[in-house]
């Protein structure tokens, strides 16, 4: 029943997590599988945490599809110590004030008459009376229309380790909680990932999402599952010798075994593939310009400003579903806690 209300099959239990984390990474189409910033690594590739040098926090607010969905994220990345690094992330996707018309239907049938009406004789011959559907001739009692909310939440806990000078590995444990009106569900999942660095400015990454299959259990007995997805990506850093500009193109692909999909770049039997691409230009290590294409073909653009205590990022999603459902604006702030403390110490 719950899966029908969400309009999805039981294999889409973690679909909301596919939106992604980090304004920078989303503005680049999610192609930064091999080189996410540490504060976003808990989602894209936890192995990247091991190269983090500053304990940092990230705070993001996004109004998806012209504000219909509210999407908030908080994440934390520690600096590497004793060969390990850790990360923590939290997602919340919510829709408020959904109209509830379940008790508002005047189910009188096509003749509009129900028991108690002076002209009522018998139930409608066509079977429309009392069938629980809004048929021609029926109406709603607007005084009985209520509302409810729906939200989806996920807690991510990550760990990373350096296996060698060129190889990094990591894993993320996920706990999922959903609610829809009075219904709720809990689930768990696991991602495993790695990054290989053939050269200092070239990275190759892979992340097996929902590696053990993610299970979600509703309080009405319905069980949902999310099958594994393999994300593979690469990125290369170009640094200009005569001008203070760094350019980083990135490419990625999501490989799934969910069977036939509505939006894929290729399909071979049950195997489907979706491409990602993005490019970032950083000027004087201060201003970042971003452009990307996500796995569903939508276009993303973004702007970042690097500060001494962190960064401020803005992203805009458009095209494809965003064309019909509305644009999505994303704002994120990254804070390096030690650097922020130094600023406060100077002020005080």
DSSP secondary structure code for residue 80 in this structure: P
Tens digits of pLDDT across the chain (348 residues): 333 333 334 455 566 678 889 999 999 999 999 999 999 999 999 999 999 999 999 999 887 766 677 889 999 999 988 889 999 999 898 876 666 666 666 666 666 666 656 666 666 655 666 666 766 766 666 666 666 668 889 999 999 999 999 999 999 999 999 988 778 999 999 999 999 999 989 999 999 999 999 888 988 888 888 889 999 999 999 998 889 999 999 999 999 887 666 678 888 888 999 999 999 999 999 999 999 999 988 999 999 999 999 999 999 998 777 777 778 899 999 999 999 988 888 887
Q: Do residues 307 and 281 make contact, with C-beta atoms less than 8 angstroms apart?
A: no
Looking at residue 321, its pLDDT comes to 75
Q: What is the pTM of this model?
A: 0.82
Residue 1 buriedness (CB in 10 A; 0-12 / 13-18 / 19+)? exposed
Give first-to-last CA distance, the chain, whole Å: 58
CA distance to 27, 151, 179, 185, 216, per residue, from 182 (Å): 35, 11, 7, 10, 16
Looking at residue 249, its pLDDT comes to 97
Looking at residue 240, its pLDDT comes to 87
Residue spans in the chain of domains classed CATH 2.40.160.40: 2-99+149-309+327-347
Rounded to whole angstroms, the Cα distance separating 23 from 297 reads 17
Rounded to whole angstroms, the Cα distance separating 263 from 104 reads 37
Strand partners, 250: 235, 278
Beta pairing class for 84-100 and 105-106? unpaired
Q: Do residues 210 and 191 make contact, with C-beta atoms less than 8 angstroms apart?
A: yes
Give φ, ψ of 318 to 5 degrees: -150, 170
Q: What is the CATH number of domain 2-99+149-309+327-347?
A: 2.40.160.40
Looking at residue 191, its pLDDT comes to 96
Looking at residue 55, its pLDDT comes to 94
Looking at residue 62, its pLDDT comes to 84
């Amino acid at each position: 029943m719950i899966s029908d209300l969400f309009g999805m099959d039981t294999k889409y239990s973690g679909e909301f997590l596919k939106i992604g984390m980090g304004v920078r990474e989303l503005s680049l189409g999610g192609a930064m599988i091999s080189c996410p910033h540490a504060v976003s690594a808990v989602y894209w590739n936890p192995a990247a945490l091991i190269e983090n040098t500053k304990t940092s926090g990230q705070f993001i607010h996004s109004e998806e599809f012209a504000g219909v969905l509210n999407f908030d994220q908080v994440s934390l990345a520690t600096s590497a110590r004793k060969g390990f690094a850790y990360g923590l992330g939290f997602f919340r996707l919510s829709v408020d004030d959904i109209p509830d018309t379940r008790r508002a239907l005047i189910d009188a049938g096509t003749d509009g008459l129900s028991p108690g009406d002076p002209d009522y004789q018998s139930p409608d011959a066509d079977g429309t009376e009392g069938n629980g559907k809004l048929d021609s001739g029926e109406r709603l009692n607007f005084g009985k229309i209520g509302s409810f909310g729906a939200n989806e939440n996920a807690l991510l806990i990550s760990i990373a380790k350096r296996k060698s000078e060129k190889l990094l590995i990591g894993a993320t444990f996920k706990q999922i909680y959903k609610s829809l009106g009075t219904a709720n569900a809990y689930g768990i999942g696991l991602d495993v990932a790695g990054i290989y660095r053939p050269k200092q400015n070239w990275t190759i990454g892979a992340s097996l999402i929902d590696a053990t299959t993610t299970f979600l259990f509703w309080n009405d007995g319905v069980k949902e599952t999310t099958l594994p997805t393999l994300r593979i990506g690469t990125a290369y850093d170009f640094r200009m010798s005569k001008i203070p500009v760094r350019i980083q193109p990135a490419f990625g692909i999501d490989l799934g075994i969910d069977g036939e999909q509505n939006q894929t770049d290729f399909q071979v039997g049950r195997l489907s593939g979706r491409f990602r691409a993005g490019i970032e230009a950083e000027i004087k290590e201060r201003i970042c310009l971003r452009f990307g294409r996500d796995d569903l073909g939508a276009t993303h653009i973004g702007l970042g400003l690097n500060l001494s205590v962190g960064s401020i990022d803005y992203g805009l999603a458009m095209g494809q579903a965003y064309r019909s459902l509305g644009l999505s604006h994303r704002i994120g702030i990254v804070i390096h806690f030690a650097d922020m403390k130094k600023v406060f110490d100077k002020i005080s």
